[in-house]
Amino acid sequence: MIYTAHRGASDTLPENTIVALAAAVDLGADYVEFDVRSTRDERLVVIHDERLERTTDGSGRVDEKTLHQLRPFDAGRWLGAEHAGRKIPTLNETLAVLKNTAPFIVDFKEEKPSLIEELVLSLRADDVLEKALVTSPHAGTLELLAADYADVPLAVPYKVAFSGVEPVAVSRLRPKLLLARDRDVDPSMIEAAHRAGLKLLVSLPRELEATAVALRTRELEMAAADGVMTSRVRLFLQKGLKVM
């Protein structure tokens, strides 16, 4: 099984912060996943939500703030006082930490062509394309990456690459990995992915308790899914050694 750390080791550490991503590397995750958005001044930062309230002490939309305005916000205290002082990292700061460590998946939340180009230039500049995969909730972003930036490896949502069990966009998007939400997965999808020569990684709900995560992962393994994405990777990994 492929074990991917969703927003880093974010079961006990503030999601999408450097400390959570570094901890996932230390645990031995096969991939470290994180989200990237743009600020108002088109700087790429690592944060999941469109708005700041859930994971920082700031307020408002990320794309309405400049990077300078984001810098003072605390991105750790929401999880506990012991995490106070963590900041929203930039993409470049994140790549500097990860570039010589684990493979990673960038969930790119933007659609604007100039921002897509900025992402690609950053990945190229840090020489990480051999270990990076890029995904996006926007099919248009993936289409543009596949068409104009063929050197960028993609992780594509199953429902974008397939219609039912037919791989309608696989030849065009050339994904290295397929992604699916747990609630959408059925055996026919796993079989279709494998017939296309691709692995399917299943994203588990973040609200699942540890016991449920372990049980569901075992069920997916028995169903021949290739891996899971979860905030609770430490259930399966211990200092680089898989324990399940």
- Exposure class string for 117-139: b at 16+ Cβ within 10 A, else e: ebbbebbeebebeebbbbbbeeb
Burial class (CB in 10 A: 0-12, 13-18, 19+), 185: middle
194 catalytic residue (yes or no): no
138 catalytic residue (yes or no): no
The whole-angstrom separation of Cα 38 and Cα 235 is 32
Output the CA–CA distances (angstroms, integers) from residue 48 to 8, 22, 52, in the order listed: 12, 17, 9
Catalytic residue among 48, 68, 83, 138: 48
User: Which CB contacts under 8 angstroms, 24+ apart, belong to 127-133?
Assistant: 127/99, 128/95, 128/98, 128/99, 128/104, 129/153, 131/99, 131/102, 131/103, 131/104, 132/103, 132/104, 132/105, 132/106, 133/31, 133/103, 133/104, 133/105, 133/106, 133/176, 133/177
Indicate the residue type of 126: D
Residues recognised as catalytic: 6, 48
